[in-house]
């Protein structure tokens, strides 16, 4: 497992003041929720590594959730097969898609505008030292976070991620996947995380075999919601609250510069 590298910190993103704070009361362990806006993948990857190191050493004493959008990027996890990236370098360049090989588990996936990407930096020593349990908790948070928008998320046996319930599928025997999950951990502290399609341009997934699963069809909250397309901000709020709930944490909005001050104190 590679060493954690310390990278340049990204400046904080000030949340919309018109939206209510995530946590009305901050009792017990916290979940620092940091909104980064639209940021390059490489910048946020280094930030994750920096925060994970701070969590490992204990200089940040509470778990963290980074919420972000990325410009178009394909990421290859540890189990990715080269054959699952079906687009040529020329086509990727024409569509402005970067490619990164990273330390997370899983295969190949896409991140881009309109997609809610969440990076939970969670110390499992404070929860349960079991990565399979952790993955199920993240799935549960996404399922709960989608429910207010009329999207009925579910699991598929043997596969990681969140899917649309099969009885709602338009095409028989063709499950629709709405969120992908891939994690990495060192000293039981996690980073990397989930990608939830909100109003994503799904044609980008044609560049690959998503998550290495042939025959899967990707979908989004915008396509599945019976109440119209919700905003990325409203979905991020719902998911943040749900993630805090499954880990029994109190979510609190935190600016990145304030969190880094804590980490270097």
The answer to whether 11 and 257 have CB atoms below 8 angstroms apart is yes
Supply the pLDDT for residue 2.
29
Supply the pLDDT for residue 140.
98
Query: Considering the entire predicted model, what is its pTM?
Result: 0.86
CA dist., res. 63 & res. 126, Å (int):
9
The answer to whether 116 and 110 have CB atoms below 8 angstroms apart is no
Would the pLDDT of 36 be above 70?
Answer: yes
Identify the weakest region by mean pLDDT among 80-84, 158-162, 176-180: 80-84
Question: Average per-residue pLDDT in the chain?
Answer: 84
Would the pLDDT of 151 be above 90?
Answer: yes
Q: Compute the average pLDDT of residues 97-109.
A: 86
Q: Where are the beta strands (DSSP E) in the chain?
A: 30-38, 63-69, 73-76, 98-101, 108-111, 115-121, 153-156, 159-164, 176-186, 189-197, 217-218, 250-253
CA dist., res. 60 & res. 52, Å (int):
9
Q: Which CATH class is domain 30-264?
A: alpha beta
Catalytic entry in 22, 178, 211, 218:
211
Identify the weakest region by mean pLDDT among 169-173, 177-181, 244-248: 169-173
CA dist., res. 240 & res. 65, Å (int):
8
Strand, coil or helix: 164: strand
Residue 211 catalytic?
yes
Q: Compute the average pLDDT of residues 188-197.
A: 97
Domain residues of the chain, as ranges? 30-264
Higher-confidence residue: 147 or 1?
A: 147
Would the pLDDT of 219 be above 50?
Answer: yes
DSSP state of 16: P
């Amino acid at each position: 497992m590679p060493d954690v590298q310390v990278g340049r910190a990204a400046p904080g993103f000030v949340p919309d003041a018109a939206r209510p704070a995530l946590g009305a009361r901050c009792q017990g362990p916290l979940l620092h929720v940091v909104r980064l806006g639209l940021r390059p993948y490489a910048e946020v990857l280094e930030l994750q590594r920096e925060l994970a190191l701070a969590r490992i050493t204990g200089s940040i004493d509470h778990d963290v959730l980074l919420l972000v959008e990325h410009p178009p990027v394909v990421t290859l996890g540890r189990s990715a097969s080269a054959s699952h990236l079906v687009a040529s370098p020329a086509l990727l360049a024409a569509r402005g898609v970067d490619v990164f090989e990273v330390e997370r588990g899983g295969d190949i996936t896409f991140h881009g505008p309109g997609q809610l990407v969440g990076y939970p930096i969670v110390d499992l020593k404070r929860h349960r030292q079991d990565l399979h349990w952790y993955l199920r908790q993240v799935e549960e948070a996404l399922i709960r976070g989608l429910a207010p928008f009329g999207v009925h998320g579910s699991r598929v046996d043997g596969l990681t991620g969140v899917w649309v319930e099969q009885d709602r599928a338009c095409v028989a025997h063709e499950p629709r996947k709405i969120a992908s999950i891939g994690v990495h951990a060192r000293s039981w502290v996690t980073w990397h995380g989930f990608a939830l399609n909100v109003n994503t341009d799904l044609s980008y997934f044609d560049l690959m075999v998503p998550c290495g699963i042939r025959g899967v069809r990707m979908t989004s909250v915008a396509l599945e919601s019976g109440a119209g397309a919700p905003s990325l901000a409203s979905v991020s709020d719902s998911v943040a609250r749900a993630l805090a709930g499954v880990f029994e944490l109190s979510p609190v909005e935190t600016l990145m510069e304030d969190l880094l001050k804590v980490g270097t104190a």
